Amino acid sequence: MTYHKAKKVVIIAEKMLSEKICRIIDASGARGYTVVPAGGRGAHHKHYTSERASVVDDFATVRIEVVVNNKTTAEEIGNQVVEQCFDKYSGIVYLEDVEVLRPGKFGGK
Amino acid sequence: MDFLADFFIRFLVQFQSPTLGFLIGGMLIAALGSKLKIPNPIYQFVVFMLLMKIGLNGGIEIREANLFAMALPAFFSILIGLAIVRVGIAIFGLLPGVNSADGFATAGLFGAVSASTLAVAIVMLEEEAIAFEAWAPALYPFMDIPALILAIVMANIHMKKEENGGGEVDVNVWGIVKESLRGSALSALLLGLALGLFTNSGSVLESFYEPLFRGFLSILMLIMGMEAYDRIKELRSVAHWYAIYAGFAPLLHGLIAFGLGYIAHLLVGFSPGGVIILSVIASSNSDISGPPTLRAGIPSANPSSYIGASTSVGTPVAIAVAIPLFIALAQIVFDI
């Protein structure tokens, strides 16, 4: 089997933004994404993971990962997320090079 | 003087109540750095259990209630929610060093209602054997939703003015109503009301929800105490005015509600227990559904200021001071 080069976009944001971010990803032509609960420390305050009750659950953070076949789509997702979500809320976006099997499973315009 | 002495005795007795004991215990173990953790799913389940019980109980008893008598207290609830936000915004406008967005959000949060404070009030009224209308807990959304909408609308008008000197303000009011009604606490309460009203849910209430209510409330209080201590650290990094406001505002808001509740008592026979519930929901500040709604509606406000003020100061004051205060006040005013 051959591995193909692809791009992974990683977005760490407040949980309440995840719906909006997933809509951006869907619109980009990507074929799917993964959302996992995150936790740790950011510029503003400590974010807890689900191991501990937090009265305000929506301020917990999530890590959203999406793999696409080309750099342009990846960059476009990142740009859209920053423009639409991170003007008022905090969060980070970064790209990673990955190698994937079955490139047909990953979209991208 | 009698009133003061009476209040003081009641106040001391409340500190022995298990409910308050668990709240203080939670703060204590958090302060001591305990590794005890109560996972988030349990917290959410506990909130569901409490609100479902309150809803079922209300729904079953509403069948025989005169709903017409609810109209005036419901109208007063809307009025109180709006008044709290207006007064809060006016107060924060006068204070130096307060970011205006933070002020709007804090006022909105204190106008909104806390499900856990409501649950504690119901337990304490049952302990004191003070009767209240079964529909009184259903006043919750009448105060909660208008307060959140007003705070978000006023904040957005203010921001627009600062940016470009006015113009159209685009606030999705229906979106806020939907978000509030879909919130975990309110949807459990409303579902419980509907189930109590339309199904024969008496047996499940008596055999399951009722016996577990107090135990679950003690767990909720423990979580609230731990969270209160953790949030104090955040509150330290913002203006001290939030802590001062959070200390006195619950009592002021409760007194406004007590006055209006008394008028409803005279006009439509609103019960003394109902007046206490109205005062307690006015003095409470939202801890579950309000913060995310405000975060979405007023993104420029710093959550540390409003959640810190509410969770670490406002809620403990509402539970530990406001509830015994209004029970004592009602016992003297209504002679019960």
In a domain, A109, yes or no: no
The letter for the amino acid at B152 is: I
In the structure, what pLDDT confidence band is assigned to residue A47 with cuts at 50, 70 and 90?
low
Please indicate, yes or no, if residue A39 is contained in any of the structural domains.
Answer: yes
What's the N-to-C CA distance of chain B in angstroms? 18
Taking the C-alpha atoms of residue B248 and residue B29, their distance in angstroms, rounded to an integer, is 26
Q: Would you call B44 and A16 a contact, using CB atoms and an 8 Å cutoff?
A: no
Q: At which residue do the structure tokens 């200021």 appear?
A: B305
Residues 6+ apart with CB under 8 A from A62: A12, A13, A14, A15, A18, A35, A36, A37, A38
Chain-wide mean pLDDT for chain B? 89
Q: Given a cut of 80, is residue A45 above it in pLDDT?
A: no
The predicted pLDDT at position B267 comes to 93
pLDDT above 60: residue B176: yes
The DSSP H or E segment spanning A97 is: strand A91-100
Q: What is the dihedral of CA B246, A55, B101, B108, to 10 degrees?
A: -60
Predicted confidence (pLDDT) at residue B238 exceeds the cutoff of 80: no
pLDDT of residue A52: 63
Facing residue for B299 by CB, picked from A50, A58, A89: A89
Q: What is the pLDDT of residue B19?
A: 83
Q: A65 pairs with which residues across the strands?
A: A10, A34
Alpha carbon separation from B118 to A5, A100, B174, B193 (Å, rounded): 56, 53, 25, 15
What does DSSP assign to residue B309? I
Of B39, B287, B300, which is closest to A52 when you measure between CB atoms?
B39
The encoded tokens of residue A14 equal 């407040």
The answer to whether B181 and B144 are in contact (CB under 8 A) is no
Instruction: Judge: A45–B227 Cβ closer than 8 Å, yes or no.
Output: no
Q: Is B156 on the interface with A (CB under 8 A)?
A: no
Distance from CA of A100 to the nearest CA of B (A): 35
For chain A, say whether B36 makes contact (Cβ under 8 Å).
Answer: no
Helix axes B184-198, B140-164, angle to 10 degrees: 150
Neighbours of B41 (CB within 10 A): 11
pLDDT of B127 over the 80 cut: yes
CA gap B279, B139 in Å, rounded: 11
Say how far apart CA B16 and CA B11 lie, in whole Å.
9
Domain at A65, CATH number: 3.30.70.120
Chain A residues with CB under 8 Å of B155 CB are none
Task: Report chain A residues whose CB lies below 8 A from the CB of B291.
Answer: 56, 58-59
Confidence of residue B112 (pLDDT cuts 50, 70, 90): very high
User: Is B99 touching A (CB cutoff 8 A)?
Assistant: no
Residues in chain A within 8 Å Cβ distance of B42: 53
pLDDT band at A50 (very low <50, low <70, confident <90, very high): low
pLDDT value, residue A81: 95
- Does domain B70-334 fall under CATH 1.20.1340? My reply is no
Q: Over 90: is that where the pLDDT of B203 sits?
A: yes
Partner-chain contact A56 B223, CB within 8 Å: no
Q: Would you say residue B200 has pLDDT above 60?
A: yes
pLDDT average, residue stretch B20-25 = 90
Query: In chain A, how many domains are there?
Result: 1
- Residue A68: beta bridge partners? A7
Kindly state the average pLDDT of the residues B200-216: 92
pLDDT tens, residue by residue, B253-263: 999 999 999 99
* Chain A positions in Cβ-Cβ contact with residue B292 (cut-off 8 Å): 16, 56, 58-59
User: Are B224 and A52 in contact (CB < 8 Å)?
Assistant: no
Model confidence at A49, pLDDT cuts 50, 70, 90, reads: low
CB of B70 within 8 Å of a chain A CB? The answer is: no
Residues A7-41 pLDDT 10s: 999 999 988 899 999 999 999 989 999 999 888 87
Is residue A62 within a helix (H) or strand (E), and if so which, with residue range?
strand A61-68
- Assigned token pair, A102: 């079955």
Burial of B165 from C-beta contacts in 10 A (0-12 / 13-18 / 19+): exposed
Burial A13-48 (b: 16+ CB within 10 A, else e): bbbbbbeebbebbeebbbeebeeeebbeeeeebebb
Taking only the tens place, the pLDDT of each residue in B154-166 is 998 888 888 776 5
Query: B175 — contact with chain A (CB < 8 Å)?
Result: no
Chains A & B: contacts with CB separation below 8 Å: 56
- CA–CA distances in Å: residue B193 to residues B134, B188, B239: 10, 9, 41
- In this predicted structure, the answer to whether residue B56 has a pLDDT above a threshold of 60 is yes
Name the token pair of B2: 């009698």
Determine how β-strand A4-14 pairs with β-strand A91-100: antiparallel
Q: Both tokens of residue B144?
A: 């909660």
Q: Look at residue B75 and tell me whether its pLDDT is greater than 70.
A: yes
pLDDT of res. A1:
86
Give the span between the Cα atoms of B11 and B328, in whole angstroms.
9
- Residue A51 is part of which domain span? 4-102
Q: Which of B305, B281, B296, B270 has the alpha carbon at shortest distance from B132?
A: B270
The answer to whether B102 faces chain A, any CB pair under 8 Å, is: no
Q: What is the pTM of this model?
A: 0.86
The domain ranges of chain B are 70-334
Residue contact A88–B299, C-beta within 8 A: yes
Residue B217 pLDDT > 60: yes
Instruction: Find out whether B284 and B218 touch, Cβ atoms under 8 Å.
Output: no
Question: Which tokens sit at B271?
Answer: 């019960």
**A107 within some domain:** no
- Which residues of chain A are within 8 Å of residue B227 when distances are taken between CB atoms? 53-55
Among residues 234-263 of chain B, which lie with CB inside 8 Å of chain A?
234
Percent with pLDDT over 90 in chain B: 54
Residues in chain B within 8 Å Cβ distance of A90: none
pLDDT at residue A55, rounded to an integer: 66
Is residue A108, in this structure, part of any structural domain at all?
A: no
